[in-house]
Amino acid sequence: MPYHFPQPLHYFVFSPALTKVPICPHPHHHLLFSVFSYLLKRHLFDNVLPDILLYPQVEGSCPLRYRCLSSSPTRVDASWIVFAHYGPVWRQQRKFSHSTLRHFGLGKLSLEPKIIEEFKYVKEEMQKHGAVPFSPFPIVSKAVSNIICSLCFGQRFDYNDTEFKKMLDLMSRALEICLNTQLLLVNICSWLYYLPFGPFKELRQIEKDITTFLKKIIKDHRESLDVENPRDFIDMYLLHMEEERKSNSDSSFNEDYLFYIIGDLFFAGTDTTTNSLLWCLLYMSLNPEVQEKVHEEIERVIGPDRAPSLTDKAQMPYTEATIMEVQRLTVVVPLSIPHMTSETTVLQGYTIPKGTVVLPNLWSVHRDPAIWEEPDEFHPNRFLDDQGQLVKKEAFIPFGIGKRVCMGEQLAKMELFLMFASLIQSFKFALPKDSETPLLTGRYGLTLAPHPFNVIISKR
């Protein structure tokens, strides 16, 4: 069974005041709802699902904290840790995945050297371009992906590795053609996925190639497994799988689930953090005065030569506030992960039937004028108090909240801080002269990615 890319979510709103208004979470289609809007019944992830509702607000009784909204729409042909149905199997798989990733350094200082080491390759690659404009996307993507690879596969790939480059290119292409209008129709008529031409055929071939890549990695690990010295996530999963089989023949731990989990970790972990870093570089290029303030703080706390450390974060509130403001404005996963009610519930007087798919509108939360002053403006200082110290805001939830909060949140925060600080410490970023100002609306697919842009770097 091949790895599948979920299709982008584009729906139509139905409310007393609105009919058939397309929801695409960026400024051109941004809508604020007082409670929620029912959306058209659609085929989602190859299943016919009940009515969908969109909920933008974060309040004391935030619905994402309700246990009854912790489920997820079931997919017939996949067992993803991200999209799997909430229940015993999901809890077992997520608990194991999270504890195993922590064992290999997730959220711990022990992972820091790998991130700093990876930046050396980033710096080397960027310096090759000199004063010539270049796209930072392929370099950043390879670096972020290698951090995931070190956790899951026990190795990093050379930036010129043919197979590695092919997988990242395939992932990028898959996300690109998922934006194709024809492919969006798969959400309505799932059988269109099997059409033998155009983007339908291309996507199936991409998924086939990616499946071959992931299956080969699992096979190589199985054949070289050392019970006494597990190297990475895959080794730990294979060992746990064997232990489970001895005592439970119906265990959910199997190679099919492992296949989908590492696929999720590899692609979701690469795409989201890559886009967050790219947005940071774009906003720094557009706001040189902010970039200089960040650099001044880096110079004051770290200096020009020592590598940044997570222990520096507490002394670098402006750098942290800048990253948070970029995340607020760009919300890489605008509609979060689909939730589904596991039982009928009442929210602000509205009855939400069991089996209703809920899409938390994180974009709306982070652009709500009732919460944020001048919400469409870039102001890192909004996350600082009068003494210049970092202020945590309840409505700042770029990774979601509740039981389905992003499992890679700690890793993403580590990568963002260390990579961003290292980049600004080493280079000054600017847009090429006479180039058009890049659009800030973003390209909405599985995540919100910046439109392609080039930068010019000068060594600090």
**Phi and psi at residue 347, in whole multiples of 5°?**
-130, 115
Contacts with 12 (C-beta within 8 Å, 6 or more apart), sequence order: 20, 21, 22, 23, 39, 40
d(CA 24, CA 9): 8
**Phi and psi at residue 338, in whole multiples of 5°?**
-55, 135
Amino acid at 432: P
d(CA 337, CA 405): 9
Check the annotation: does 406 bind a ligand.
yes
Biggest distance spanned by C-alpha atoms of the chain: 67
What is the CA 184 to chain-centroid distance, rounded?
Answer: 20
Q: Would you tell me how many other CB atoms lie within 10 Å of the CB of residue 124?
A: 11
d(CA 284, CA 223): 47
Strands (E), 306-375: 339-340, 345-347, 350-352, 357-360
Give the position of tokens 């798989």: 93
3-state helix, strand, coil in the chain (%, to 5): 50, 10, 40
d(CA 370, CA 342): 31
Q: Are 406 and 412 in contact (CB under 8 A)?
A: yes
> If phi over 0 gives left and psi between -120 and 50 gives alpha, with beta otherwise, what is residue 293?
alpha
Query: Which segments are annotated as binding site?
Result: 406
Tell me the binding residues for heme: 406
